[in-house]
A and B are shown apart, each in its own frame.
Chain A
């Protein structure tokens, strides 16, 4: 590891101030991606601004409308333990990585990083969640912008993620054999006004919604509604662990299983 400075502000305001001064800074959530990146010198900011000491981005609560509000700094382990009102989300969080990852990694960090194989983006997109930052509220459909890219501006911090709790939901992950990240992960959420299906791990464009499956399931929320539906493998990631066609096939399998489990 190289030498860098670290600041531990206690308010979002102080963190934003630090991130906007002239020093080259990087916000640090749980560090599950950033720290390995620094160790490999793939990024070398002069200063890290840890968000770990900011109490106002901690905590899980429900607002008056029943939406589940999770602070941007809440760890996966805390979501797994404390998001019982949205069991599919808690279940997803409880199966990210291993205990060490879950005890350090945060929902805000994961979303800001937008790894194409991360689990959380599928839950946020399938739930039509709202990503709240220090400056604005961003709808899930506007937040994700391709691999490792989001609508966040420089120095913008995710303070909360608000999930409307669906009538039924489930997440099904097929693990990549080595990393255990999602080779394909599908989150299905059924709301009064329709079904949303979000897919992670599969596409070269990052997390996406499967419109045909959503339409079919909105009419009939049953696995059989998916009969005959398939995705084209051409836009899918193709690597050592599976071709685009294999991933496209897995999306259909995992969607079906998620519907059955919901």
Chain B
């Protein structure tokens, strides 16, 4: 939400350039801007992106203003600052989504899915933004199997240049587009076949894992039956008829929409995305520095712009050692004091950045164990670490975490012939696979038949994110994602006139979701099939709400219109009152 800012600075005595910017990935900006735009070697360029007021994808990319400020600061030998107004943001920040898609679903006589065929025109805008072609390709085509064991999947995407603002990744990036078309066509099939849309989905669920889809990826784990069972319980489907009657008594239409989603996040195995055409490696990094008095500084390549890494990352490290979370400081966002990292997007921070942090902390613990063994004159294999105390198994001998860390920096009694002093370790983690969060969502809407206005009355979300570190942060992420998905479904959209002029250039015409547009959500993440290939067993939760929610909203509105006697099978997003009213006119 916070508009972008860039400050360029130049130090003539050292020849160093510094860029302060609102970025989700300062190292990537340093590499792209330094190597490919300004010709500044990375060791003479520092990029700082401190706490940033929201990213949602739009701050992944390298923008011209960053290079201009850095260049101008050197040319003028003084700092140069640029701040983006909201109006400028509308016409210079990359936009999201913007696909035109035709999808076909084939079913056999028993309603088993036999094939999916989808053809998409993906708008790139007037020129390519940093990751624009990745979005409709390997972040979209790879998801077209969804939660279903469809044996044949055909995806054809044509990326097209237009005269719009560039289009690039936006919360979910490609996966909402994949989920939307698949979950809409399944509802349409249910309508045509006269079958229950939930039963049709259940019948076609993938139930055995690992599952290699026909579109290049292998789901390691999941339980789509469990999330659907949980959803049916949360959404109180048996009470729908009574609620429908209440709505009808008020002269309103009411509808129920359900959908499933799968996403590929924990982005991403470098070798796989390389084969799919990406030019970046998508590992993550962490350095864990233990101070003499036992406190830790974790320097992560992930970037926090509202995700609460300072809390959840500290929890992970503190738990591994058994110390208080307040002894762990999380540092991010400055290329001068963090290892080369790829930043935060694609629900990757805990799954990939957290895994790097775990690997580095494991190295720390392994070394600390050697020191503890030396201090207690015991065999290393007998050393146990619990609640911040190293002890010798089967004895009452123990030494505190702080004593071990002090010994590392004051190595008077220390195994100097075996290990170096100090306690600082770095790890890079490249995931073996994507992670595959999944879930089932249900939305109930009322539609005013006189005006076409849609109100969301109930929304339930049952997600499987694997293991959970901080339930409150996860719920917050889901709530925010749902608000964005509902915004996309009902309100948000960029319009241009016939001359290419952006019509939605301010919040007077671009409809942002507000508190009154969203209901009190019912969210649950108790269905947990841990990721099988990262040390935390986590899958990522940042984008799920935005990926999973649009189809259930549209499914619900179509259901409401049909129950109201309108022969409607589809309405394009955003479902503004005007569009819904037009759909009712036939």
Q: List the interface of chain A (C-beta within 8 A of B).
A: 40, 174, 177-179, 181, 239-243, 246, 249-250, 253
Closest chain B residue to A39, Cβ basis: B85
Q: Please judge, given known A-B contacts A241-B578, A243-B578, whether A177 and B491 are in contact too, CB under 8 Å.
A: yes
Contacts of A242 in B (CB 8 A): 576-578
Q: A179 vs B510: C-alpha distance in the bound complex, in angstroms?
A: 8
Interface residues of B in 148-175 (CB under 8 A from A): none
Q: Does B104 contact A (CB under 8 A)?
A: no
Size bracket of the B interface? 10 to 19
Q: Does B293 belong to the interface (CB within 8 Å)?
A: no
A177-B491, A177-B576 given; 13 more Cβ-contact pairs under 8 Å? A174-B451, A177-B577, A178-B511, A178-B512, A179-B508, A240-B495, A240-B503, A240-B509, A242-B576, A243-B582, A246-B581, A250-B451, A253-B451
Distance A239 CA – B495 CA, assembled complex (angstroms): 10
Number of A-B residue pairs, CB cutoff 8 Å, is 40
Instruction: Report B98 CB to chain A, min CB distance, Å.
Output: 16
Q: Is the CB of B582 within 8 A of A177?
A: no
Q: Give chain B residues whose Cβ lies under 8 Å from the Cβ of A241.
A: 509, 576, 578
A246 engages B578 (CB within 8 Å): yes
Q: Which of B450, B508, B511, B576 contacts A253 (CB 8 A)?
A: B450
In the bound complex, residues from chain B placing their C-beta under 8 Å from that of A179 are 507-509
B563 to chain A, nearest CB (A): 21
Residue with the greatest number of chain A CB neighbours at <10 A, chosen from B511, B578, B582:
B578
Cβ of B504 under 8 Å from chain A? yes
Interface centre among A240, A241, A249 (most CB of B within 10 A): A240
The 8 A CB mask of B13-39 against A (1 = contact, 0 = none) is: 000000000000000000000000000
Given the complex of chains A and B, what is the CA–CA distance between A181 and B503 in angstroms? 17
Interface of B is mostly: loop
User: In the complex, how many angstroms separate the beta carbon of B215 from the nearest chain A beta carbon?
Assistant: 36
B577 touches A178 (CB 8 A): no
Given contacts A253-B450, A253-B451, contact A178 B581 (CB under 8 A): no
State A177–B578 Cα separation when bound (angstroms).
10
CB distance from A5 to the nearest CB of B (A): 25
* Residue among B451, B495, B507, B510 having the largest count of chain A Cβ atoms under 10 Å: B451
Question: For residue A240, which residues in chain B have a CB less than 8 angstroms away from its CB?
Answer: 495, 503-504, 509
A246 to B582, CA, bound (A): 8
A178 touches B509 (CB 8 A): yes
- Beta-carbon contacts under 8 Å, B407-457 to A: 450-451, 453
**Cα-based distance from A76 to B495 in the complex (angstroms):** 32
A sample of 10 inter-chain contacts (CB < 8 A) reads: A174-B577, A177-B491, A178-B504, A178-B508, A178-B509, A178-B512, A241-B509, A242-B578, A253-B450, A253-B451
Indicate if the CB atoms of B507 and A178 lie closer than 8 Å. yes
User: Taking the nearest CB of chain A, how far is it from the CB of B374, in angstroms?
Assistant: 66
Q: Which chain B residue has the least Cβ–Cβ distance from A239?
A: B503
B241 to chain A, nearest CB (A): 28
Q: How far is the CA of A253 from the CA of B582 in the complex (A)?
A: 15
Look across to chain A and name the residue whose beta carbon is closest to the beta carbon of B450. Answer: A253
Our pick among B453, B508, B511, B581 for the contact of A249 (Cβ within 8 Å) is B581
Contacts of A177 in B (CB 8 A): 491, 511, 576-577
Q: Which residues of A contact B581 (CB under 8 A)?
A: 246, 249
Interface centre among A40, A181, A249 (most CB of B within 10 A): A249
Closest CB-CB distance, B344 to chain A, in whole Å?
Answer: 29
Please indicate the chain B residues that have their CB under 8 angstroms from the CB of A174 in the complex. Answer: 451, 453, 577
Minimum CB distance partner of A247 in chain B: B578
- Chain A nearest CB, measured from B491 CB (Å): 6
Quote the shortest CB–CB distance from B490 to chain A (angstroms): 8
| Chain A residues whose CB sits within 8 angstroms of the CB of B451 once the complex forms | 174, 250, 253
Q: How far is the CB of B139 from chain A (nearest CB, A)?
A: 29
Alpha-carbon distance A214/B510, docked complex (angstroms): 35
